[in-house]
Structure 1
């Protein structure tokens, strides 16, 4: 028998159970799904379970989360007493506008008042809505209310950043409900069309296409198009549009409204033509001079204002982006709502405390993968991060992740000789003597000294995670594994494996002993896992595969920066993005490039990255007289703009585990030519061509790739949202695998 009796919410010891939040979204659409998803994120961040009503039978102890007062009433009558209700609009007033029934309005008002009075938490879409209900029902609701506007876009649409706008183009999206004032909108556009000095066009995106056509024909408009589009197709259709209509009449329904279409217009760089009766939005837009306010009924001067604005040069596509800093800032609402939930409901269980250690987060795949992982898991755990070199991009880390400061001695382990002057004298001496000692006797003793110092400073953790593999035994760097094992007190210890353990040069008895001390080893690919098991088959039961995570939207945004990376290029662009280290194989390719050029091939090879082989590669370029063919770009925080403009990615590694650049290339639809390493086929699939790692095989693969222009056949035209959707599925699977490793589930 269960330890809990779910009918009354009391366990058998007499203690109250933690509430579970059950979501019932009866009439799901894009808007309500986005809103309810954000509410569920806040519930989980607060530490409570969130489930769908269709997947779990509710108990009387549960908190029912609904988006309609009638659904909330139904649960109330069935005996469920705890409610969170999202009020989307003024239901009685909207009903009266549809049906003109005073009796119906009266009954709905009584139901609405009953639900408002008894709900534990109310979610309103505007401050005006909260004030409306307090005045109408004379109820003090402020103490149990949370205000968040309706919006379905969390950030600006990436392709809109460089989209060219047609200055005579207008759009309307949404339903044709009475309060949406589409007839007045059509008449307003028809007058603009009649007076404009050049052709205009009006695109209407609605499900009620036949009625829209009839209204437009009656208005006298001529140049219009009516469609029913959703998602990515809708966003693409709006890219060339300059103006978007949101005209409303003065009435209570519109005064409290926060139309979702305004977030879509802002995301797509569209100038809204809106009515000031939309008080919540108007207040923010007026401060920045954003949009064109037009009250209904429209006046002569309103039409003239729009016509004058049309004469202006290309508007700034990012003009509405400021709204995503606060008004449409989903993360901010989620954090504040999570705090409110913790205050209003029973105390949530404390999150597991997790320590994550890493050598450095300067650049590279490990850094980007960890930043992306933190963005996905920060609401699940109380996380402390230690980067040994102390250099962390704080703006890429969620605000609730603690960064433990590295002291001078710890930073010394990640300080190269060329930067020794940055260290204090004691740290400099430790760096020199420690490196010399490690060269002669191994790193164990100096690293043990550092770990004992850190252990005294750090609190206890439920889990310690090393996010990178150990360095060779006689190398004085990357103390990540040692910190997770010996530098803290933790109930569970996990190590990540980002390399081909069999070949990466640190498969030593000492490092194998380190791995045997971990409760779980997480390889970032199936290929990396297989390589590890060939060296340590006894670890099979403790090995998991946790693929790296990409921040897809950030990558696509950086790729669309618009700056021309190859302004003088006249030939196919070969691109390599990697650390310039011996195992990456760039140096051996310089003579191959000379042979290709001597054979008559025209191309450019651009290399983005830095590392210990950079000087040798530069010298080889000079010695082979390839300064007009091979170009070194050094380190950059935005390699994605290069990837967006190259013809194909070239990755000639001798050995490799799961380079993040492969996944990034797939996301950016960049074809790949790579050597056949442990995970290349697994990560690339049909997006790349693999060859053997020998020089001869590489030369023939390049020759064939260039002569047959194979890279053009590998280009995949795919919608951005489709790529992001597929990426989201993989991200969810990776987070699930990470949680299993950290929490001990098998």
Structure 2
């Protein structure tokens, strides 16, 4: 008899959670071919949809539930008057009174799923009660039947201010809570220590052979006159630290150090970073590549991968960089010390000054590291066997 798993997530838009989900689906199929996986994605129209294995069923949510997974700008693009009115009213209400009532209203128009599942997984965490992009855990609690209900944690609840009474009440109803790293688990339990018996961790699955193959699919040459080449792949959002990293680099270029920074990705701060580059006239030093479906050839060709985030739960791109043999320069975060050591990268203080000093040291000393992968990254598939027993 097939084991049935339901996974609920926000959207198929570009981002770390969606990337991790695609990889987890591959891992689940590798460890057990006798499973049926159903996906219910609130907003199921985005780019990553074509990466989902063809034998996985994608369930369609109700119109209002779909709206919950969409940004305001995406809702406006639909020109659907029902979605637009619901988004405006629910967002306004949530900012004042919290999102419980709007989410409950949206769920009224969502039929309960007919299939009984062995596992129901909320793969996206609950967010701040004042935002309407939420409700993923509440969906599996109210709109499906399963033997085990579990929530996946991809966020540092301390850094993002998610240690609320509402989230305590919601997560206490789950059977299992899975964090994507030891550091994420520690952060979560510092807020909700009473949930320790339900809490575990599982690193994101990394398809090592596939990543290495993709890194060889295209030959990228940055040119021998560019000095040290740093590369990043990330969403353009404030927590990734792109702006502060540019500010750290500016005095080093004035000193005459020779290096460039290539960045692949997009996001809400893309235009802001473009404007910053224009203002400082550094188009030839910070090069924006836009979204790259396959960033691995760039990652492999670079001298260093640069992770400049203010906070992270599990940096898949840093781990992927090590897989293709490129060392990582990363800001000092608890999870970074789970991923990186002296055999795979360079950890610097989590500040503008720390980033500046590290880049100066790497460029001036022409530092190079032959990357040795940590065993816990390569064998992450086995953790899923333990969780989905």
1:455, 1:486 within 8 Å by CA — same for their partners in 2? no
Work out the CA distance in 2 between the residues paired with 1:409 and 1:567.
51
Tell me the alpha carbon deviations over residues 85-144 of structure 1, each in whole angstroms, 9 at most, x when there is no partner.
xxxxxxxxxxxxxxxxxxxxxxxxxxxxxxxxxxxxxxxxxxxxxxxxxxxxxxxxxxxx
Shift of 1:563: 4.2
User: Could you tell me how far apart the structure 2 residues matched to 1:726 and 1:361 are?
Assistant: 30
| Separation in 2, partners of 1:523, 1:654 | 19
- 1:266-665 matches, within 5 Å, as 350-378=1-29, 379-391=33-45, 393=48, 395-419=50-74, 420-564=76-220, 566=222, 570-665=226-321
CA distance in 2, matches of 1:544, 1:370: 18
Alpha-carbon offset, residue 559 of structure 1:
1.3
Given that residues 156 and 312 in structure 2 are in contact (C-alpha distance below 8 angstroms), is that contact kept between their aligned partners in structure 1?
Answer: yes
Instruction: Structure 1 unaligned segments of length 5 or more: list them.
Output: 1-349, 741-746
Is this contact kept in 2: 1:497–1:524, CA < 8 A? Answer: yes
- Aligned equivalents of 1:737, 1:580: Cα separation in 2: 35
Structure 2 distance, partners of 1:505, 1:568, is 45
SS for the counterpart of 1:462 is strand
2:11 and 2:141 map into 1 onto residues whose CA distance is 18
The answer to whether the 8 Å contact 1:358/1:467 transfers is: yes
Normalized against structure 2, the TM-score is what? Answer: 0.91
Return the offset for 1:673: 0.6
Partner of 2:388: 739
For the residues of structure 2 that align with 1:395 and 1:592, how far apart are their CA atoms? Answer: 38
- Partner SS, residue 735 of structure 1: helix
Is the Cα contact below 8 Å between 1:463 and 1:492 reproduced in 2? yes
* Alignment check: 8 A CA contact 1:359 1:479 kept: no
Contact map agreement 2:61 2:110 (CA 8 A) in 1: no
The verdict on how the C-alpha distance between 1:457 and 1:430 changes in structure 2, with shifts beyond 3 A counting, is: farther
8 Å contact from structure 1 (residues 473, 510) kept in 2: yes
Give me the whole-angstrom Cα distance separating, in 2, the residues matched to 1:600 and 1:650.
Answer: 20
- 1:518 and 1:642, CA in 2 relative to 1: closer, same or farther beyond 3 A? same
CA positional deviation for 1:368? 2.0
Q: Deviations over 1:389-421 (max 9, x none)?
A: 113645533333211023432222232233322
Name the CA distance, whole Å, in 2 between partners of 1:377 and 1:631.
37
Residues 669/676 of structure 1: CA separation in 2 closer, same or farther (3 Å cut): same
TM-score by length of 1: 0.49
Give me the whole-angstrom Cα distance separating, in 1, the residues matched to 2:378 and 2:297.
Answer: 25
Instruction: Give CA-to-partner distance per residue, 1:142-196, whole Å, 9 cap, x none.
Output: xxxxxxxxxxxxxxxxxxxxxxxxxxxxxxxxxxxxxxxxxxxxxxxxxxxxxxx
Contact 2:119 / 2:148 at 8 angstroms: preserved in 1?
yes
Instruction: Name the CA distance, whole Å, in 2 between partners of 1:459 and 1:449.
Output: 23
> Residues 137-148 of structure 1 correspond to what in structure 2 (within 5 A)?
none
Note if contact 1:545-1:737 (Cα within 8 Å) is conserved in structure 2: no
State the alpha-carbon separation in 2 of the partners of residues 483 and 425 from structure 1.
24
Asked whether the 8 Å contact 1:504–1:655 carries over to 2, the reply is no
CA contact (8 A) 1:412 1:423 kept: no
Change (3 A) 1:670 1:737: same
Quote the Cα distance in structure 2 between the aligned partners of 1:612 and 1:492. Answer: 36
CA pair 565-519 structure 1, distance change in 2 beyond 3 A: farther
Q: Deviations over 1:534-586 (max 9, x none)?
A: 11111111111111101223322221122436469622211111112111111
Instruction: Describe the shift of the 1:671–1:466 C-alpha distance in structure 2 as closer, same or farther (beyond 3 A).
Output: same
Do the aligned partners of 2:159 and 2:311 also contact (CA within 8 Å) in 1?
A: yes
Change in CA separation of 1:637 and 1:727 when aligned onto 2, cut-off 3 Å: farther
For residues 125 and 4 of structure 2, the distance between their equivalents in structure 1, rounded to whole angstroms, comes to 22
Contact 2:62 2:110 in 1 (8 A): no
Higher Rg of the two aligned structures: 1
Q: CA deviation at 1:630?
A: 0.9
Unaligned runs of 5+ in 2: none
Partner of 2:366: 709
Contact kept in structure 1, 2:5 and 2:118, CA below 8 Å? yes
Q: Are 2:331 and 1:675 equivalent residues in the alignment? A: yes
Q: How many residues align?
A: 383
Displacement of 1:355:
0.9
**Tell me, what secondary structure is at the counterpart of 1:522?**
strand
Partner of 1:688: 345
- Choose between structure 1 and 2 for higher RCO, CA contacts under 8 A separated by at least 6 residues: 2
Aligned Cα RMSD in Å? 2.3
Is the Cα–Cα contact under 8 Å of residues 156 and 313 in structure 2 kept in the other structure?
Answer: yes
Q: Structure 1 CA distance, aligned partners of 2:177 and 2:348?
A: 30
Q: Secondary structure at the match of 2:89?
A: helix
Look up the SS of the partner of 1:507 in the other structure: coil
Q: Is the 8 A contact 1:369 1:549 kept in 2?
A: yes
